[in-house]
Each structure stands twice: as C-alpha cells, then as structure tokens.
Structure 1
Amino acid sequence: MKKPAELVFIPAPGIGHIISTVEIAKQLVARDDQLFITILIMKLPFDKLFTNTDSSISHRINFINLPETVVDIPLVFLSFVNPFVESHKIHVKEAVTKLLTDQSAQSESKNPRVLAGFVIDMFCTSMIDVANEFGVPSFLFYTSSAAMLGLWLHLASLRNEHDKDIYELINSSTEFVIPSFVNPVPTKVFPSELSDKEGVAIFLDFGTRFRETKGILVNTFSELEAHAIHSLSDGKTPPVYPVGPLLNLKSDDTRVAPDKAREKSDILDWLDDQPPLSVLFLCFGSMGSFCEAQVKEIACALEHSGLRFLWSLRQPPPKGTLTLPSDYADPKAVLPEGFLDRTATTGKVLGWAPQVAILSHPAVGGFVSHCGWNSALESIWHGVPIATWPMYAEQQSNAFELLELGLAVEIKMDFKTESEVVVSAEEIERGIKEVMELDSDTRKRVKVTSEKGKKALEFGELVFVPAPGIGHIISTVEIAKQLVAQDDQLFITILIMKLPFDKLFTNTDSSISHRINFINLPETLVDIPLVFPFFVNPFVESHKIHVKEAVTKLLTDQSAQSESKNPRALAGFVIDMFCTSMIDVANEFGVPSFLFYTSSAAMLGLWLHLASLRNEHDKDIYELINSSTELVIPSFVNPVPTKVFPSELSDKEGAAIFLDFGTRFRETKGILVNTFSELEAHAIHSLSDGKTPPVYPVGPLLNLKSDDTRVAPDKAREKSDILDWLDDQPPLSVLFLCFGSMGSFCEAQVKEIACALEHSGLRFLWSLRKPPPKGTLTLPSDYADPKAVLPEGFLDRTATTGKVLGWAPQVAILSHPAVGGFVSHCGWNSALESIWHGVPIATWPMYAEQQSNAFELLELGLAVEIKMDYKTESEVVVSAEEIERGIKEVMELDSDTRKRVKETSEKGKKALEFGGSSYTSLGRFIDQI
C-alpha cells in the first residue's frame, strides 16, 4: 500500500509565483490522494499582498507563513532576492522540523507521512541546502517559460563549462543562438537583470544550481513550447515536466481588497454591453506602471484608434523604493485634458483590474500586456491575442517567444521600465489595431493553441475493447491497472463481449479502481461457424452497434454530471488484436485507435510480415506456407518452420481472415504489447521499421494477486488443499502440467502422459480436463471421475508423489517454491507467468499461436521441447518416451535453461518498476494520448 507523502513547496515572494504554486499544488493533490503539500510563505517587507492564502482550497494543502526577516536590501531585484531567501533558511528548517514532529506525535495517524522532497522556486535555489540536510531530493518549480529556462541554463553552461564572460559576451553581441528558441535571440530582449556585471553573476549562480535538482516542473505545455521542451532533453538537464497551463481561473480577485467586488461587477456589466471581440484590454501586471509622458502617448493612441478599451492605469511607486504601483486618486491628473469625456462611450480607465474575468469575457478581443508568463498563459487560455509591451524581468524574452510562436503582435518588444524611453502614439496605435484584427493569422493561431492548452489539463477516458477470452481480458484488466496507477487523470472503461457458449469471462471486479469501469455489452446471436477465426469477425462485428451505444451513453452521462469540475475527454479506443473492426467505431467518434496485442512481439512481427507479403508483394500466403518448410520472419532470430505457424493459417479462408486482421493493425496510432524489452529485444527492434505504428512493450502484465476463487465459489477449498500438499514437497521438486482454459486431450494421450509421469518418478500436479463434445465450441470441464481415462491403478501407485486435479489455481501453483517445472500449452500469458516465477517450461502447444510461442521460447533458451508442433486437431499421440525425456530435462536443477529463466524473471520484475523499461514505455504511451 502506498504511503502518504508530504511535499514542501517554497515559492518566491511574488504574486505570480505564489498563484502558480497554489495551482500546481491543487493539481497534484487532485491526482494523488496520498499526497499532502505544505506551502511555506515568505512575506516581503514592503508588501502585504502576497500572504493572502486560502487554507480552504484542500485539507491536504497547508500554508505556513514564515516569520518576517529584516535584511539590508539593495534596491535591485536580483541583489535583494538571494539574501532575502537565505535569511529564511533557518525558518524553513524550523517549520519542516515542527511539521514532521507534529505528524509523528499524532498517534491516531495510522499512516505517518513520509517527507518526499522540497519543491523550490527558481529564485530559492539556496533551499536545496535545507533539503539536503533533511536527506530528501529537491525539485525545481519554474514559473516562467521553457524557452526562458533554456536561456538561463545555456548561459550558465557557457560560463561554467566554456569559461565565457557572459556580461562581456552580451554587451559585444547583438544576438545569441539559444537552443530553446527557434531563432537567434537579440541581446536587447535578454532579462533586465543581465544589464550589469553583478546581476549577471547572481542570475547565472541561480541557473547553475538548477542542475542540482532531481527534476524541473515548468508552467507550460508541450503543444505550446514543443521546440523548447525538446531542446531541454540534452542529457545534462534534470528531467523536465511540462505541467501547465497552471492558472487560477476561478479567482474572483476580491481577496485583494474587499471593496473590489463592486468594481468588478461594474466592469463586467459594461463589457456585457459591448459587441463580441470589440474591446482592447490594457494591463501591465502587479508591478507595471508608466511615467506621465508615456501615459499621454497611450491615451492618444487609444483615442485616435477609435477602439473600445479597458485600461488598467496604475500610479508608479516613489522613485528609490521597491513598493508596488497603486491606483490613482484621480487619473485626470496624468491623462490628456478631456480624454475621459471624449472616450466615455468607448472606453473605461480603471485602477486595479480583475484580469482573469476580463480576459474570459467574450467582448474582449485583444490584450496589451507586459508579457509576464502567467498573463501570457491566461490570454492564450482564453484565446485572446497579445500585443507585446514587456517592462522588466524576463518579459522581453517572453515577448520575443510569443512573437516567434505567432501568438502576438509587437508594440515594443524591448521596452524596459528603467530605460525611460517613451513609445510613440503612432507605434502604439499600429500595434493595437493589428492585435484587434478579427481574421488575422495570429488570432486563429491563439485560438488553436487555447484549445490545445485546455486539452493538456483534461482528464482522459480510454475505452478498451478486449476479445472475449480469459487471457485477453486478464491482460486488459492488468494494463488498465498499470495505466491508472501511472496517470491519475486517466479513466478507463472496459467493454465486455460475452461469448454465447461461456459464462467464465464476464466475472469483472469493479472494486479494482474507481477509475476502471466495466460494462457488459448485450449478448448477440450470430450464425457462428465452429472454426475459430471464422466466428471471431462476425461476432465482433455484431457488437459494433452496442459499443457505439455504450460509448455514447458514457459520454452523455459524464457531460450531464454538472458537479464534475474536470470533464473527461474521450482520448481513444484500445482494441484487441481480434477487434480491429472497432477502428471504424473509433473513427466515428473522431478519436484514435490503439492496438493492445496480448501475445508476443515476435508473433506480432510474424503477423505483420505475412500481411505485408500479401498486400505489398502480392504473395499467396497459403501457397507460400504449404510450399515451404521455413520462412525468414524479421521478428525471429532464426528462420521459422511453417509447421509452427498459427493453426488458423492451415486453410485458405483462415489465412485470409488472419491477414485481414494484420492489415488493419497498421491503421492504429500505436501498439501496446504484453512483453518487455529485455525478453524480446530482437523482435521489438525489428518492429521499428518505419511502416509499423509505434510499439510500446508494457509487460509482463499478469494478475499475480488473483486467488482464482472468482471462477467458482467452491474452488477456495480445492486451492487450499493443493497448497497444503505443495508445502510438504521439497523445493523445485514438483512438475506442474496445465494446458490453459481450452486445453484437453483424447484418452489415448492421457494414458501416455500418465505413463511418462509414473515412469519418471517425478512429483507432479496435473490439471486434467475433459474434452468438450466434438463439433461444439464449449470449453473443457473437470472429469466426474478421472479414473475412467487414466491407466488402471495409476492414482493409487502415484498417491505419494502426485495429484491429478481438474481446475488448477495456476498463479498460486507457479509461485510456490516447491514447483520446479511447467509443462505448458505456451499460451503467452502462461509463458509470462512461468518466466515471472522463474519456472522453466516444457513446451506442448495446442492451438492458435502457441506453436510459434513455443518456437520462440526455445529460441530464447527459456524452455525445453516435448513437442513444438503439436496441434489439437492433428490427433497425433505423443509417446510416453518423448514426454518423459522432456519432463526430466525441464526438471534438471543446474540446467542453463533454469539459470536463464531466473535471470529473465529478475529482468521482467525490474521492467515494471519505476524507471524500468516497461514503466517508461507505458509513460511514453500516456504522453501520446
């Protein structure tokens, strides 16, 4: 069971930083119900705005206001922030110590929280030292863009690794190639902190420490900054996680001051009276203000343009202070005479402005912005194009990137507050008219990016359509469990098709996860031929209407749940290899299809290769198989004997159906395979051929916790008896024989197996099933009395060495230390279970692709052969001598096969662990959807 974990966030003391921190905290606790977050607030000595925290956000998000500190603060931002943060290290250490002490003292807590790490702001890198004292990792939360992160890291690298004088370099160059930007970046848009030698040194010292963290969370999304994010996977930078857009979209801004609610209401009432997309909004952030001369130029531009406008006009703070701008007592004092009267019908001059509420209003069509990253993301979210007017910090670089991405137009890209340059009314008017153009490419691009940003934060719904077979459904449930465990924003619905002749496969368990849902589809009656490949396609086809109805209802029910704060988007269908006709249903819903291939990667390669030979090279596969003894298949190391090809290929019509399935595999957007790279390295590599959709090895997917009692309630006692018997046997001494849910033998073959077991003297557990009546598709069943088919006296003579069972709890038996070998039909699930438990296999395939699986297991050195090309329908009887040779070989204690299986078992377990090959592969699939 997952332990509760505590993350400590340390944001920089700025409203943009704190808002983003609160938003990521909300996202994290929503995704993981075992996560608790404490946010430590440092209060600036000159402002009270940033300490208004809301502890009602979540009972798992806690705010602690740290004691105020008095430091000798220079009036330059970078110079003051480091000593200011440094002065809080002692308070952070005390707060975290108290937090942990208080938690351990709460004796009623059954699950004490583990301190998982610190998440520090980009200006709080000195807190890495405190995290190190607690012995926990640090993660960086970067509240600006990925492009700006790349600039910061690149400049730090030039200094640290290439001994460059960055200050001299900036002042002697007009532009720089920065990997996180598409085009060379003019030095005039570099952050204002780089304008002096001391500022450069402090800036680069922060960037140098970024690489000491274990990961970097960035308030951006891949669809916005694909180039920048890709540039950061350079092998030197810690893993970068784009987690945005993180925005406080539900803020009513009234917490800033209680009297603002009425002002907000007046503003929104005025906007309600304006036409759609007609109003220009001008707002320059919590620290943005202009001199009187610049105010007059803005006013002239607005008036002359004739545009409707809302202008947040703030009074600059007194020179030589670090206080914030404030509202004018009377803005007439700085505006051109008569301006307010002449624009009374077209515009409003405000002080404070409820930015989110304004940007979200349909009347707003453009935003003149300082290009603070939060403001840029809010504008993009609401589909409002930006006219860039950066002022301080990294805003010039943000403006450059927004223009590079085609999401903004320029008023002044390199404006800096301290420069005292006055932008002319003509320049301003040109920019504001351009940003308000209704049919501009910029507006269209912002709208598209807005939709992508919203999708980046949506919960996703995947619909799985497994084939109606126990092996297929078990694997589907297991991959569903892995997916929801790795992504807390993912929901899965599994649609169950019930076979007309069986009830076994509908026993689903909705308690597995509240995010995995099972729907039993209505039963359908079809005229089903009694040969496997023939019945599957019409059976699945007959369910298309039910799948369509079920998914439509699912989406309707979700949209009707108005209390749901996070609507789910249908992300796609994951279809079984025998359900390719469901691609058509996915296409009707306008979502991608992914294939879940429940057998081996080698078999997938065989299927695709044969389909390619038919479709692209006009080969008659049926003739090819019948005229050849072996074929070169790229996914196998050695040529494959045609006698081990799937039994479905043994007739012309069966081959055509088989290849039609394989042909449609390539229509999917990706293929999930129940295997792992360390098991099938050659096969997986062979599938990166440029023609096959991306292949994700995500196995071994096994239901290892199943107690098998759900098959029938009376089986619990049988299982207990079997395990009690195994407890009395020496380690690795018992041979287990089991042939899957559809495996059974004629009486003559049963007698040969019995003779081999008795003559070998081996201990054994034998799952002996009665064949179904000929000409039916029902499953094997337990014998009422197995003595009827066994050699006379066999049960008495082997009473001390073996047990003959009917149904067998396979997982429980294979996991028992007494079991040393497995005679198996080589169904892929059974093979993976045996490998997982380190039990070597003796191959006895029977139907479907089991002969090909047996060939591969022998090729990989994980099995010995009893009979590799046995097929149920051939009615060949394998002799007791052949069987005895195979079972004695598989039980050898010091064999290379046993050693190889043990090594592969360990690799399979590591593949599913955090950072393992299959865990990572599943993560790549989640990223794709």
Structure 2
Amino acid sequence: MAATIVFIPCWESGHFMSMIAAGKRMLDAGGGALSLTVLVMRAPTAAKASEVDDHVRREAASGLDISFRNLPTVEQPTGCVAPEEFNFRYTQLHAPHVEEAIAGLASPVAALVVDLFCTPLLDVAAEAELAVPRYVYFASTGAFLALMLRLPAFREDLTARLRGTEGAVHVPGLPPVPLPYMPACLSRNKIGNYEWFEDYGCRFMGASGIVINSSVELERGVLAAIADGRCVPGRPAPAVYAIGPVLWFSALEQPHACVRWLDAQPPASVVFLCFGSKGFIDKEQVGEVAAGLERSGHRFLWVLRGPPAAGSSHPTDADLDELLPEGFLTRTQGRGLVWPAWAPQKEVLAHPAVGGFVTHCGWNSTLESLWFGVPMVPWPLYAEQHLNAFELVRVMGVAVQLKNMEVSEVEPFVEAAELEQAVRGLMGETEEGRKAREKAADMKAACRKAVTEGGSSYIALRKLMSEISSGGGGTASVTG
C-alpha cells in the first residue's frame, strides 16, 4: 500500500491554495509513489468556511491522488487579546482530532506537513508515536522566515521600538530594514501579536525541514543567512527547501470581461490596480487614486471593491456611483476600466497589454507578477506586506516606490500626485521605472528557470521528496 503525506493547511485562501498547489508539485516529483491526505480544519467564520469548501470540492474533482478529511468542529477560544493568539489556540484545540485522524489512516504516513500557522500541531506526530519527518510549509518570503527565526533575539530591543518610525532592523541577509517596513502584524499597534509569531518561529526550529514558496534566485541572501545559522546563532537551522514559485491556475470557461477589455489595448500600455482578497480603501482615498490615474494619462484597469459587510474582513462588490468622483468614468472612458467585483488576477497579469501592477504586496500576488515579468508599485496594507515591499524596491529592484516609507507615517495616505508620479515611473517615463521593467523581465526568466528541470527549485523539490521517501530530514542547508 502506497504511503501518504499528511497535510494540515490553514483556512486562509492564500495559505490553503498555496499549500495544495505545493502538494501537487510534490506528488508529481514523487512519481506516483505517494498520495496526499489533507486534514481540513473548519474555518472560524462562515465566509471562510464556505471558501474552503469550494476549494475542497474543486480539488477533490481534479483526479489527482488527493483525499480530504474534515476534522470535527471545535469550540472557538474566547478572551484572546491578539488575532494570532486566537489562531494559535484555535489550531491547538484540533490536536486530539488530528491524532485520531492520523491513527485511522489505512495508508502508512510518510511525512507530516503543516502550514506555518499550524505549527502547534507539529507535536502530534510525536504524541502519536509517528517516527516520520515533520515539515513546515511557509507560504511567505524567506525574509519573513528569517525575521521570525530571529524574533527571540530581537524581543528586548524591537518590541519597544515597533510603534515608531525611526531606526532600522538588521534582518540577516537583508540591508538594514527601516522600521516602517517591518511587518504590520508585528507592529502597527499590534504588539500583542509579537509573542505568538515568536512562538511560531521557535517551533520552526524543531521541524525536520521548512518548505518555502520562494527560490534561491529570488532571495539568495536571506536563504543563505538561514542556512549559515545567522538567524539563530548556536543552533543549526532545519533544511530549507525553496521550491517556488508555487502558483496555481484555474481555467476560465470563457474570457472574463476584464480580459476582453485588455484585448483591445496596446501592448504594455495598461497599469493594473488590485489590492487582494482583503484589500479595501475608503472613499477619500478612492478620490485620490482616481485623480492620480486621470492626471497620469495612462490606461488603467482598476479593481475597486466596496467596504466589507459587518463581521467580515472581505470586501463587497463596489457601488461605483457612490465611491468614484462625479464624472470620472466619463472623463476616462476609452482608456480606463473600473471593475467593481472579483477579477481573474493571474489572467490579467498574463495579458500582454498589462505593463505595470499597483499591488498590496501579498506574496502570492507578488509571485504572480514576477512570473509574468510585470513591474510593480508596492502599496502594502497588512500582514508582512511592508517587508515584501522593501524587498521589491531595495533588494530585487523590480518596483517603483510609491512613497518614501523610510520617512513617512506607518500607514501613509496616498495623495493623487504621489500615485500619478509612481504610475508615470512604472510605465517607463523615468529611469527608475525603466530599470524596474528590465529587472522584472529578468525575474520572469529566473522564476521559470528555477522550476524547470535542473533549476534550483526543481532540485530542491526532488531532494525534499528523497528525504521524505527515506524517512529523514536535513539540517542547516538551502537546497537548490
């Protein structure tokens, strides 16, 4: 009987789908010798639970050797001070159900892989007396991984300074990171989260390895710093398997309206604005964006969402008459499209008419943009996106800076003139923009080379599967 790899993903769509896509890659690299069993926790909100159910139905029908098992519902913890405290405790409550599910599997277990936010469940394998390797799937950047591993050493100095905007943090493998570029989930008046991210980072050190959605070509410096032991001095880091970019694509039954509009635009002439599944800006900020786009003179496709419904973190379909300045759609007719609902981001970024991307810097969105060679204007909103923006501008050079965050407020209000200037640069009117376009083209080639035969991510993935097949796990290295 073929052995199975047990996956425990987080319920957030960006994490869930990234991990499933990585699992498919692992199955392919394993040559059919292994299957994949996904243990699904019930998401804590009805909206997120519905999203996960949709993902599961779609993937279960894919025909691949993947089985999904829903874990019993648990009572949600109360009295949590910080969001990550809730996530941590909620995940931890699933431990006995995970142990029971694993014990009930008909197939022998070859490995356990948990999402970075599910590391409280890493101990289940030991408690169930499973002598199998245990891995963390890290759906973010090597920079954020290096920072999380380093958090215990930063605690005394950093927590007192995170509320400010002056000074810099020395993340191994990166240039000094100005405080405003530190992840919003650690600072931005969310100091209560720090200890939970610190705990996650400490738990990573007990894993057999860390599978990360990045590549040596994208983040050579920070991945080398982790392997060299510069993040946790005196302790060997687990092996890091950089297998990215991990992307997933869903075939559309027919071209989306946004794609059809792009078909009529000249090559590389459109700037695309989209702020992710949780991205929302208020009416005052919408007015500044509209004015900036209008003054720039460039063609644009703007995915504009409305405010979330009560009790939800996800935007609704926008009322354009309510949000947009009077006459904006008329004045920009023919060179701009404002789309008020979900749009197929990958298909848009893949379109030859798109020449730039104003993005919230979610890592999945960033990888999609790099995959298609589209330069960016970073507009980080939450989570680790500020640190991602720093990498895009200061390390990779694939982005035009929207605002000098080294001297700005932590969550800057973007004025029309700032957006106009950034869009003009992004579309090639400045030397900075032209260099970003060249770098983005280079990154497109590097991303695709990494995952093809002989590339760094290709090699890392096969080494990972070899380790799993042999029941082992590496230490202190970056494969690829």
Q: TM-score range by the shorter chain?
A: 0.7 to 0.9
- Which whole-Å CA distance do the structure 1 matches of 2:464 and 2:404 have between them? 35
Indicate whether 1:895 and 2:434 are aligned. Answer: yes
DSSP 3-state at the match of 2:382? coil
Q: What are the ranges of 5 or more consecutive residues in structure 2 without an aligned counterpart? A: 230-235, 469-480
Q: Which amino acid aligns with 1:649?
A: L
Aligned partner (choices 327, 331, 337) of residue 793 of structure 1: 327
DSSP 3-state at the match of 1:479? helix
Correspondence for 1:821:
356
Indicate whether 1:460 and 2:11 are aligned. Answer: no
Aligned partner (choices 506, 516, 523) of residue 53 of structure 2: 506
DSSP 3-state at the match of 2:247? coil
Query: CA, structure 1 residues 892+754, in 2 after alignment: closer, same or farther (shift >3 Å)?
Result: same
Indicate whether 1:623 and 2:160 are aligned. Answer: yes
Correspondence for 2:17:
474
- Equivalent pair of 1:706/1:811 in contact (CA under 8 Å): no
Q: Which amino acid aligns with 2:237?
A: T
Q: Which amino acid aligns with 2:51?
A: L
- Equivalent pair of 1:734/1:762 in contact (CA under 8 Å): yes
- Which whole-Å CA distance do the structure 2 matches of 1:496 and 1:664 have between them? 21
- Which whole-Å CA distance do the structure 1 matches of 2:77 and 2:404 have between them? 34
Correspondence for 2:140:
599
Q: What are the ranges of 5 or more consecutive residues in structure 1 without an aligned counterpart? A: 1-457, 559-567, 710-715
**1:152-181 CA distance string (max 9 Å, x none):** xxxxxxxxxxxxxxxxxxxxxxxxxxxxxx
Query: CA, structure 1 residues 612+593, in 2 after alignment: closer, same or farther (shift >3 Å)?
Result: farther
Q: Which amino acid aligns with 1:754?
A: A
Correspondence for 2:118:
579
Displacement of 1:642 after TM fit? 1.6
Displacement of 1:512 after TM fit? 2.9
Correspondence for 2:184:
647
Indicate whether 1:609 and 2:150 are aligned. Answer: yes
Mapping for residues 151-170 of structure 1, pairs under 5 Å: none
Displacement of 1:626 after TM fit? 4.7
Indicate whether 1:771 and 2:307 are aligned. Answer: yes
- Equivalent pair of 2:241/2:461 in contact (CA under 8 Å): yes
Aligned partner (choices 888, 891, 916) of residue 455 of structure 2: 916
Residues matched between the structures, number: 442
Query: CA, structure 1 residues 809+466, in 2 after alignment: closer, same or farther (shift >3 Å)?
Result: same
Aligned partner (choices 215, 237, 254) of residue 692 of structure 1: 237
Q: Which amino acid aligns with 1:500?
A: P
- Which whole-Å CA distance do the structure 1 matches of 2:73 and 2:211 have between them? 28
Displacement of 1:594 after TM fit? 0.5
- Which whole-Å CA distance do the structure 2 matches of 1:598 and 1:915 have between them? 23
Correspondence for 1:904:
443
Displacement of 1:513 after TM fit? 4.1
Mapping for residues 726-765 of structure 1, pairs under 5 Å: 726-765=262-301
Query: CA, structure 1 residues 701+875, in 2 after alignment: closer, same or farther (shift >3 Å)?
Result: closer
- How does the TM-score come out when normalised to structure 1? 0.46
DSSP 3-state at the match of 2:446? helix
* Structure of larger gyration radius: 1
DSSP 3-state at the match of 2:357? strand
- Equivalent pair of 1:845/1:868 in contact (CA under 8 Å): no
Indicate whether 1:857 and 2:392 are aligned. Answer: yes
- Equivalent pair of 1:760/1:888 in contact (CA under 8 Å): yes
Q: Which amino acid aligns with 1:549?
A: E
Correspondence for 1:803:
337
Indicate whether 1:495 and 2:71 are aligned. Answer: no
Mapping for residues 241-260 of structure 1, pairs under 5 Å: none
- Which whole-Å CA distance do the structure 2 matches of 1:856 and 1:687 have between them? 17
- Which whole-Å CA distance do the structure 2 matches of 1:807 and 1:530 have between them? 32
Indicate whether 1:550 and 2:101 are aligned. Answer: yes
Displacement of 1:831 after TM fit? 0.4
Query: CA, structure 1 residues 729+772, in 2 after alignment: closer, same or farther (shift >3 Å)?
Result: same
**1:219-255 CA distance string (max 9 Å, x none):** xxxxxxxxxxxxxxxxxxxxxxxxxxxxxxxxxxxxx
Correspondence for 1:93:
none
Query: CA, structure 1 residues 626+751, in 2 after alignment: closer, same or farther (shift >3 Å)?
Result: closer
Query: CA, structure 1 residues 689+630, in 2 after alignment: closer, same or farther (shift >3 Å)?
Result: same
Displacement of 1:532 after TM fit? 3.1
Q: RMSD of the TM alignment (CA)?
A: 2.2
Indicate whether 1:520 and 2:70 are aligned. Answer: yes
Displacement of 1:635 after TM fit? 2.6
Mapping for residues 229-628 of structure 1, pairs under 5 Å: 459-487=2-30, 488-501=32-45, 502=47, 503-507=50-54, 508=56, 509-527=59-77, 532-553=83-104, 555=105, 558=106, 568-589=107-128, 590=130, 591-614=132-155, 619-626=156-163
- Which whole-Å CA distance do the structure 2 matches of 1:499 and 1:606 have between them? 27
Taking only the aligned residue pairs, the percentage that are identical comes to 39
Indicate whether 1:633 and 2:171 are aligned. Answer: yes
- Equivalent pair of 1:594/1:670 in contact (CA under 8 Å): yes
**1:528-585 CA distance string (max 9 Å, x none):** 65853232112212322332233233x1xx2xxxxxxxxx421221111111101121
DSSP 3-state at the match of 2:135? strand
**1:11-54 CA distance string (max 9 Å, x none):** xxxxxxxxxxxxxxxxxxxxxxxxxxxxxxxxxxxxxxxxxxxx
Q: Which amino acid aligns with 1:634?
A: P
Mapping for residues 638-677 of structure 1, pairs under 5 Å: 638-650=175-187, 651-677=190-216
- How does the TM-score come out when normalised to structure 2? 0.87
**1:262-290 CA distance string (max 9 Å, x none):** xxxxxxxxxxxxxxxxxxxxxxxxxxxxx
Displacement of 1:830 after TM fit? 0.5
DSSP 3-state at the match of 2:108? strand
Query: CA, structure 1 residues 772+868, in 2 after alignment: closer, same or farther (shift >3 Å)?
Result: farther
- Equivalent pair of 2:44/2:76 in contact (CA under 8 Å): no
- Which whole-Å CA distance do the structure 2 matches of 1:530 and 1:778 have between them? 18
